[in-house]
Amino acid sequence: MKASRSKVETFALNKSGFAGPHIDVKTEADMSVNFPPHKHNFFEIILFTAGGGTHQLATQAAEVKQGSLYFLLPHHIHRLAVSEHAKFYLVAFDFHFLRPEFDVDVLSLQPINLNQTPEFAPFLFQGQTDYTLNGERLRQTQSLLETLRNENRNLADRNIAGGASICRTEIMRASLMLLLGNVCRWHEKKITSFVRSGAATSTNDTHVARAMQFIRDHLHQSISLDDAAKHVFLSPTYFAHLLKNKTGKTFGELLTESRIEKASELLRYTSASVSEISHQIGFEDQAYFARRFKQQLGRTPRAFRTESAAFK
């Protein structure tokens, strides 16, 4: 039985209506206020200045209200549903816009080296921190976002007199860095605590643990990398990289190992036939199952069962 799946849209700076390729700033007037589950290949900051609704990141759903502020990493699936009266700023940028001096693969960003790039801490700890703003902090952040938006609009309008695009990149980069720096200062104690506890690394470990549990729960199904990635709310590309980085193995290798492990357990402790066991763990072809079993354990399923019985 095939595990159910649906397509999760991927947004890219140069393919989703963003000015890009490095940064863009939009408001509710420029785009839809509701997004189905999706992912993107850029960093994203969203600040709500009015309205309500819900924002879901992985398994966490939070109420959207005035001052709600979100920092979203690339390749992480999230969903946004807000009222028609919602007002917000959305900033999309890639790593090299903010830190052009570093040659970084976006797929290996977590855990980010906070000694080199501490301003990315809010993205790493979004799941553990409420960044909601009010009062002067909200006004200050909104002012920086308005600066970013105005500079971004200047680029789009080539007819602005007086060379308004001069130093545009520098002004936008400085405004973005100040916004991130302010948030880091406002939450300095929490961020420092998270760094010391290894919270960023433990988040990755949780993703891998949940993926392995998904594999064990669906051994009898024809599951894929996409299915497991969707389960842990990551893009397949990022998820594949994460598995390889954490386990040294591909999804296919981990799936096969888990199936063979389950098969050896059934061969040792049950009287189910080899054919029945092969179907129970997701192999439709018994001969193919036998070959993979021998590749993993050095003997056929029947030989394994015979040897196991001798030791009972």
Q: Give the best-scoring range by mean pLDDT among 2-16, 29-43, 291-305.
A: 291-305
Q: Tens of pLDDT along 126-150?
A: 888 899 999 999 999 999 999 999 9
CATH 2.40.40.20 fits 201-252, yes or no: no
CATH 1.10.10.60 fits 253-310, yes or no: yes
Higher pLDDT, 69 or 217: 69
DSSP string, 264-278: HHHHHH----HHHHH
Q: What are phi and psi of 273, to 5 degrees?
A: -70, 165
The topology (CATH level 3) of 9-197 is Jelly Rolls (2.60.120)
- Map tokens 């040897």 to a residue: 307
* Token couple for 29: 């007037």
pLDDT at 161 (0 to 100): 46
Q: What is the mean pLDDT of the chain?
A: 83
The answer to whether the CB of 238 falls within 8 A of the CB of 77 is: no
Higher pLDDT, 309 or 142: 142
pLDDT at 261 (0 to 100): 87
pLDDT at 307 (0 to 100): 83
Q: Tens of pLDDT along 55-81?
A: 887 667 788 999 999 999 887 778 888
pLDDT at 1 (0 to 100): 36
Q: What 8-state DSSP symbol labels residue 65?
A: -
Residues 6+ apart with CB under 8 A from 3: 218, 221, 222, 223, 224, 227
Radius of gyration of the chain, Cα coordinates, nearest whole angstrom: 24
pLDDT at 8 (0 to 100): 61
Residues 6+ apart with CB under 8 A from 222: 1, 2, 3, 282
Higher pLDDT, 185 or 39: 185
Rounded Cα gap, residues 145 and 48, in angstroms = 11
Rounded Cα gap, residues 102 and 180, in angstroms = 18
* Token couple for 49: 């200045």
Higher pLDDT, 308 or 268: 268
- Map tokens 């007002």 to a residue: 87
Stated pTM of the model: 0.68
**Same fold yes or no, 9-197 and 253-310:** no
Question: Region 89-112: what's the mean pLDDT?
Answer: 76
DSSP string, 145-202: HHHHHHHHHHHH-TT-TT-TTTTHHHHHHHHHHHHHHHHHHHTHHHHHHHHHHTHHHH
Q: Give the best-scoring range by mean pLDDT among 27-31, 67-71, 154-158.
A: 67-71
- Which residue ranges make up each domain of the chain? 9-197, 201-252, 253-310
95-134 burial string, b = 16+ CB within 10 Å, else e? bebbbeeeeeebbebbbbebeebebbbbbbbbebbebbbe
Higher pLDDT, 111 or 224: 224
Rounded Cα gap, residues 75 and 38, in angstroms = 9
Q: Tens of pLDDT along 234-292?
A: 888 888 988 888 888 899 999 999 999 889 888 987 889 999 999 999 998 899 999 99
Judged against a pLDDT cut of 90, whether residue 49 lies above it is answered with yes
pLDDT at 59 (0 to 100): 62
Judged against a pLDDT cut of 80, whether residue 34 lies above it is answered with no
> To the nearest whole percent, how much of the chain has pLDDT over 70?
83
